[in-house]
Structure 1
Amino acid sequence: MRVARGQLTLDELSTQVAQLRRGPVEFRYEPRGAATVVVFHGGHMRAGLTLGEEVFADGGCSVLAVSRPGYGRTPLTAGASPAAFADTTAELCTHLGIDAVTAAVGASAGGPTAVAMAAYHPDLVQRLILQSSVGPLPWPDRRTSVGARLVFAPGTEGMTWAAVHALVRLAPDLGLRLLLRDLTVLPVRDMLAALQPEHRARLVGLFSRMRSGHGFVLDLQALRTPTTLAHMAARICRPTLIIASRKDAAVPFPHAEALSSAIPGAELMESQADGHFVWFGRDWPSIAERIRVFLTRPETKPQLLRRPSE
C-alpha cells in the first residue's frame, strides 16, 4: 500500500493519500501522543480543513482526519455507505500502525460513519463522540434535499462554491447571513451579532475553502435510510458522548435525542450554541473540558456481536 503526500497550500493543511484495497483514501495524520482520535467531518469538508480539532490537540491526542467518499481525493469507491467506509478507515488505521482509537469523532453528516466505526469495530474504537450529528431520523427535509441535489450536484457544485467563495471574500457579512440562515432556528442577524470576531473569521475561512465534490450528494443518498443507522447505533457497546444544540436547524435536536435513545448508555450534552456550529457556542470551553474528561475515562470491554449482512 502506497502513501502519496499532498501539497501544502495557503488554504489547507497538508494531506496524504493511502492506496488501500478499495482504492485511494485522503487523510491527514498529526501524531502527538499515544492516544489517537479519528475525525469524520461533516458535509463539504475534507481532511485538509479543520473544525473543532483543537480540543484533541490540546489534550495531546494524535489526530487522524479522513476525507469521506466523494470529498477531497477520496473517491466514491472507498465506501458508498457509512459501514463500508468504516471498514476502509479501519484498514487505514492498520496501514498506519494504529491499533487503538481512543475515540471516533463524527460531526454532522460524518456522524453516521463514526457510529459505524464504533458499532462494527469495537475492538479498535474505545469511545464515540458525536457533534451535531445526523441521527436515525429522516434527513434532510424534502426542501433541503431537492435544493441540495441541484446546487451541489457534481456538475454544478464547482460553480456554486466559486460563487460562495467570491461572496464571503468580497462581502463577508452578506455571505455569512446567507450561509448561516439555514443553520439556526434564530433570526440569522441574532446569531451573527453573538458571534465572536475570531469565530466570524473562522467561518469566513471555512466557507471560502469548502467544496462538495461528489460527497454531499452521496451523503443525501447514504443517509436516507434511518433504520440502518438505528440498527448500528443499537450495537454500540462503547462509551458515547453526544453534543448538540436545540437551536440547530441543519440537524435538529431530535436527531441527538434519537441517538441517545438508540445507543446504550449514551450521554447527551446540550450545547448553548446558536446553531449548527457547536464549537462556536459560548459554553464550548465547558464542553471541551467535558470531552477531555470523557477521553480519559477507563475504557469498557466490548461485547463483540456478529455483523449482519448488508
Structure 2
Amino acid sequence: MASTSHAHPERAAVVVGLPSGPVEYRLEGDGPRTVAVFHGGHMRAGLSLGEEVFADAGCTVLVPSRPGYGRTPLTTGTTAAGFAEATAQLCQVLGVARLAAVVGISAGGRTALSMAARHPHLVERVILQSAVGFLPWPDRLTRLGGRAVFNGRVVFNGRVEAGTWAILRLLLRAAPSSGLRLLLHDLSVLPARQVLRNLSTAERSLLVGLFSSTRSGRGFVADMLPVPDRAAQVSQPALVIATRHDRSVSFAHAECLVAAMPRAELVTSQAASHMIWFGPDYPRVAARIVDFLAAG
C-alpha cells in the first residue's frame, strides 16, 4: 500500500495552565490558518499521525492531549464538552481567533463534534477520521474488560495499562510481525495476517514506531463514558472519513453522523483497517481534505 502520511517520533509539547486546568499541547507550522487535532485513544500531543495533509493545506496544527493522556489530567474538562471549553480557552491564550477546522480522530471525534456544536463562532469546519460518534462504543466485551489481553484482544484497563503496553513494546521489539498482528486484530474486520501482508515494509516500521510510543494513561477508560449526542447541532460543513473494514469503530458511526449533521459529506476509505492513513487510496482521501479546507 502506498501512503503519503506518516507517524513520527515524539515531538516537543508544553503544558499551559488554563481556567479549566492544565493542558498539554503542541503547536507546529506557520500557516495563516490553524486546525485543532483531537487524537484518539492511547495518543497524546507529542505523537503525530496524518498531519502532513494539514501542512499541505497551508495550516498550522494545534494538538492538545485530551484528558487522561500525556500531561493533561482527567480533572481538566472531564467530559468532551468540558474539554471543548478548555480548548477554546487554549485558542484564546494562543491568539487563535478562528479554527479552519477541528479534526476528530477515533475517540477524539466526540470532542471535535462537541467543540463544533458549542463554539460555531470559533470552528469553521469539521473533519472526522475513523471517528467515534454517539452510538454505543466500544463493544460490550471491551466495556466490561476496560481493555488487558483477553482471548486475543488487547485490553487497556486503567489499573494495568502500563504493564500491558510494556509487554506489547517488548513483543513489538522481539517479534514485530506478531505484535502488529495482535494489535491489528482489534483494528480490522479482515484477518490480521491479510492486513499485515498488504502493508509495505516502511508502513510496518511506522506502525511499530507509533504503537511503541503510545500509552493509555487514564484517558482510554474515560473515553468509554457516554457522551450527549451533539451531531444535529453541528451546522458547519463536515467531512466524515471512514472504512467499512474498521473493527474498532464500526462504519455505522460514520453513517449515523452523516445522517444527523445537516452539511456532512461521507468519504469512504478503502483502507483495510481503522488506520485510514495506510490505505491504498489515501492520496485520494488526502486530496479531498485539502480541497475541503481550501473551500473554507
TM-score range, shorter chain: over 0.9
Q: Which amino acid aligns with 1:166?
A: L
Residue of structure 2 aligned with 1:160, choices 133, 154, 164: 164
Separation (CA, whole Å) in 1 of partners of 2:9 and 2:191 = 30
Separation (CA, whole Å) in 1 of partners of 2:202 and 2:22 = 35
**Residue 177 (1) aligns with residue 175 (2):** no
Match of residue 115 from structure 2: 117
Separation (CA, whole Å) in 2 of partners of 1:240 and 1:197 = 34
Separation (CA, whole Å) in 1 of partners of 2:262 and 2:94 = 30
Separation (CA, whole Å) in 2 of partners of 1:167 and 1:148 = 21
Q: Following TM superposition, by how much is the alpha carbon of 1:59 offset from its aligned partner in structure 2, in angstroms? A: 2.1
Separation (CA, whole Å) in 2 of partners of 1:237 and 1:141 = 29
**Residue 66 (1) aligns with residue 64 (2):** yes
Alignment CA distance shift 1:275-1:149 (3 Å): closer
Residue of structure 2 aligned with 1:87, choices 85, 90, 93: 85
Q: Following TM superposition, by how much is the alpha carbon of 1:11 offset from its aligned partner in structure 2, in angstroms? A: 4.4
**Residue 288 (1) aligns with residue 286 (2):** yes
Residue of structure 1 aligned with 2:29, choices 7, 28, 31: 31
Tell me the C-alpha RMSD between the 2 structures.
Answer: 1.2
Match of residue 263 from structure 1: 261
User: What do the CA deviations read for 1:226-251 (whole angstroms, capped 9, x no partner)?
Assistant: xx12xx11011111000000000000
| TM-score for the superposition, normalised by structure 1 | 0.89
Match of residue 51 from structure 2: 53
Q: Which amino acid aligns with 1:179?
A: L
Q: Which amino acid aligns with 1:132?
A: S
Match of residue 152 from structure 2: none
User: What do the CA deviations read for 1:277-308 (whole angstroms, capped 9, x no partner)?
Assistant: 0111000000000000000113xxxxxxxxxx
Separation (CA, whole Å) in 2 of partners of 1:72 and 1:88 = 16
Separation (CA, whole Å) in 1 of partners of 2:159 and 2:198 = 36
Separation (CA, whole Å) in 1 of partners of 2:88 and 2:173 = 38
Q: Equivalent pairs: percent with the same residue?
A: 56
Work out which structure has the larger RCO, using CA pairs closer than 8 Å and 6 or more positions apart in sequence. Answer: 2
User: What do the CA deviations read for 1:33-67 (whole angstroms, capped 9, x no partner)?
Assistant: 11100000000000000111110112221000110
SS at match of 1:155: coil
User: What do the CA deviations read for 1:123-172 (whole angstroms, capped 9, x no partner)?
Assistant: 00000000000112111111122233454233211111111111111210
Match of residue 204 from structure 1: 208
Greater shift, 254-263 or 54-63, is seen at 54-63
Separation (CA, whole Å) in 2 of partners of 1:135 and 1:12 = 28
Separation (CA, whole Å) in 2 of partners of 1:201 and 1:108 = 22
Residue of structure 2 aligned with 1:214, choices 218, 221, 224: 218
Give unmatched runs, 5+ long, in structure 2.
Answer: 1-7, 149-154
